């Protein structure tokens, strides 16, 4: 038992100094509870306010797509360079080292395949399992204008409500069916609906015209998907334009893991997102990192034997 005689009363209360009250760094997130903010601060870098999310959840409806044949070989070596991992619980448990300590944005909707109608999803993960794997956020697809729009919105709101019980934020993912045009009008509609229904951040696509209006009209942070594989300079240019016009980062998959040099590419993407590097300079970085590995005689396609230590 502590000796009460030795307990000193505090004296230095700095009475004339008002208590500090922080404004949370992410747009639209100041009224959230501490746990939600803490998790969002793991997904987004509090210094830059941005994130490089590495997306490799494609298998949940596409199966073993190019570049994701072996998550242990293709993705694990990229983990040290990502801020957050967008993945399924199956990939996480089977292939991702628990020591990786990166924020996990857990894919929580599913239930269809590329062989069927894409918008026909359900909630595919119980909130308890998201907690069990220590998810920093849950991701759910919303198909505005899609055949199963209503059902996908129901999936979104049910996960948001479950997440509020435990302080886990939800990422609304705007799923755009083939029949819909990815223009500012459509993306503005879809992202705003997701945010108004309570999504804490929203994943969307970049569009050449009017993207700033999409960002301004969405009251929570937006991250952009990479989309189909582009030449590296084009992908870096897209990422640059997106963050320059207000996106809070990228959720990029194929343009990283399908690149000829995935580590060089994710490092180049980081330089754009976190250091405002121009696309040209980031591409130079990509090329020099790629060439370094070439001249060292290394295989640009990663192998587990030289997986860097995961931090």
Shortest Å distance, C-beta 261 to ligand R5P: 17
Shortest Å distance, C-beta 30 to ligand R5P: 27
- Is 121 a binding residue for ligand R5P by CB under 6 A? The answer is no
Given 49, 80, 177, 227, the residue binding ligand R5P (CB under 6 A): 227
Decide whether 105 or 215 has the Cβ nearer to ligand R5P.
105
Closest CA to 188 of 124, 250, 136, 145: 145
SS3 249: strand
CA pair distance 125, 148, nearest whole angstrom: 19
Pairing of β 170-174 and β 122-123: unpaired
Q: Which of 37, 203, 241, 290 is catalytic?
A: 203
Given 118, 173, 242, 263, the residue binding ligand R5P (CB under 6 A): 173
Shortest Å distance, C-beta 230 to ligand R5P: 10
Closest CA to 175 of 198, 151, 208: 151
Q: Quick one: which segment of 55-63, 91-99, 114-122, 302-310 binds ligand R5P (CB under 6 A)?
A: 55-63
- Is 251 a binding residue for ligand R5P by CB under 6 A? The answer is yes
Q: Quick one: which segment of 20-28, 32-40, 180-188, 224-232 binds ligand R5P (CB under 6 A)?
A: 224-232
Decide whether 32 or 43 has the Cβ nearer to ligand R5P.
43
Given 29, 52, 57, 84, the residue binding ligand R5P (CB under 6 A): 57
Given 58, 148, 241, 290, the residue binding ligand R5P (CB under 6 A): 58
Question: Which DSSP string corresponds to 20-77?
Answer: P-PPPSSTT-TTS-HHHHHHHHHHS-TTTS-EEEEE--THHHH-S-TT-S-HHHHTGG
Pairing of β 109-110 and β 122-123: antiparallel
Q: Is 178 annotated as catalytic? A: no
Decide whether 76 or 239 has the Cβ nearer to ligand R5P.
239
Given 39, 42, 254, 290, the residue binding ligand R5P (CB under 6 A): 254
End-to-end CA distance of the chain: 40
Given 142, 236, 252, 266, the residue binding ligand R5P (CB under 6 A): 252
Shortest Å distance, C-beta 226 to ligand R5P: 3
Do the Cβ atoms of 82 and 102 come closer than 8 Å? Answer: yes
- Is 171 a binding residue for ligand R5P by CB under 6 A? The answer is no
How many CA atoms does the CB half-sphere of 198 hold within 13 Å?
19
Given 71, 86, 108, 176, the residue binding ligand R5P (CB under 6 A): 86
Decide whether 232 or 251 has the Cβ nearer to ligand R5P.
251
CA pair distance 197, 215, nearest whole angstrom: 17
Q: Which residues, including other chains, have CB under 8 Å from residue 68's CB and lie 6 or more apart?
A: 56, 58, 59, 74, 75, 257
SS3 171: strand
Task: Say if residue 225 is exposed, middle or buried (CB neighbours under 10 Å; 0-12, 13-18, 19+).
Answer: buried
How many positions of this chain bind ligand R5P (CB under 6 A)?
13
**Residues near ligand R5P, by CB under 6 A:** 55, 57-58, 86, 173, 225-227, 251-255
What amino acid positions are annotated as catalytic residues?
A: 203
């Amino acid at each position: 038992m502590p000796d009460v005689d030795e307990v000193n009363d505090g004296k230095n209360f700095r009475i004339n100094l008002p208590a500090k009250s922080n404004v949370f760094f992410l747009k639209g997130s100041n009224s959230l509870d501490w746990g939600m903010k803490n998790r969002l601060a793991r997904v987004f870098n509090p210094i830059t306010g941005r994130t490089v999310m590495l997306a490799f959840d494609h298998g949940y409806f596409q199966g073993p797509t190019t570049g994701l044949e072996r998550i242990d070989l293709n993705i694990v070596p990229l983990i040290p360079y990502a801020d957050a991992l967008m993945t399924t619980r199956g990939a996480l448990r089977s292939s991702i080292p628990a020591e990786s300590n990166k924020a996990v944005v857990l894919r929580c909707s599913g239930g269809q395949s590329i062989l069927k109608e894409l918008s026909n999803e359900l909630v595919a993960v119980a909130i308890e399992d998201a907690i069990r794997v220590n998810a920093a956020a849950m991701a759910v697809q919303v198909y505005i204008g899609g055949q199963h729009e209503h059902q996908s919105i129901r999936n979104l709101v049910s996960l948001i409500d479950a997440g509020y019980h435990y302080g886990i934020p939800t990422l609304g993912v705007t799923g755009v069916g083939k029949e819909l045009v990815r223009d500012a009008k459509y993306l503005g509609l879809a992202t705003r609906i997701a945010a108004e229904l309570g999504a804490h951040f929203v994943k969307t696509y970049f569009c050449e015209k009017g993207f700033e209006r999409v960002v301004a009209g969405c009251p929570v942070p937006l991250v952009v998907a990479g989309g189909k594989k582009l030449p590296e300079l084009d992908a870096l240019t897209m990422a640059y334009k997106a963050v320059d016009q207000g996106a809070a980062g990228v959720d990029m998959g194929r343009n990283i893991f399908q690149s000829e040099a995935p580590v060089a590419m994710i490092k180049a993407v980081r330089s754009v997102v976190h250091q405002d590097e121009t696309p040209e300079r980031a591409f130079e970085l990509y090329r020099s990192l790629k060439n370094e590995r070439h001249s060292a005689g290394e295989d640009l396609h990663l192998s587990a034997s030289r997986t860097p230590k995961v931090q």
